[in-house]
Amino acid sequence: MEAFIHFGGPFTDEQPAPRLTIKVPVKDSAAPRSGRTVTGYGFKIPVSYKVKYLGRWRRVYCASYGNAGTAYIIINGAPGATVDIYHN
């Protein structure tokens, strides 16, 4: 597996924003039961991955309000960057 962390604003045709992407180590980890909702949807749903960023293993969370979700990590107490995890 490999993970990429993306920093920066959204990229659109009208307002292209600069983005920084870095490759980081990723590992499987048991997802905690706390933080999950009955419906399975929500803003801070913990998933079973951790990525190493700035010397710490950080839990990957998912914001899901429909059939798709956005994976992200928390940096300094706020959602800081989106994450893409690829299985080789």
The pLDDT value recorded for residue 84 is 92
Confidence tier at 71 by pLDDT (50, 70, 90)? very high
Contact yes or no for 88/2 (Cβ under 8 A)? yes
What pLDDT digit, counting tens, does each position of 13-60 carry?
A: 676 677 889 999 999 988 787 777 777 788 888 999 999 999 999 999
Query: Nearest CA to 35 among 12, 76, 63?
Result: 63
More confident residue, 71 or 34: 71
Mean pLDDT of 61-81: 89
72: burial class by Cβ within 10 Å (0-12, 13-18, 19+)?
Answer: buried
The pLDDT value recorded for residue 55 is 93
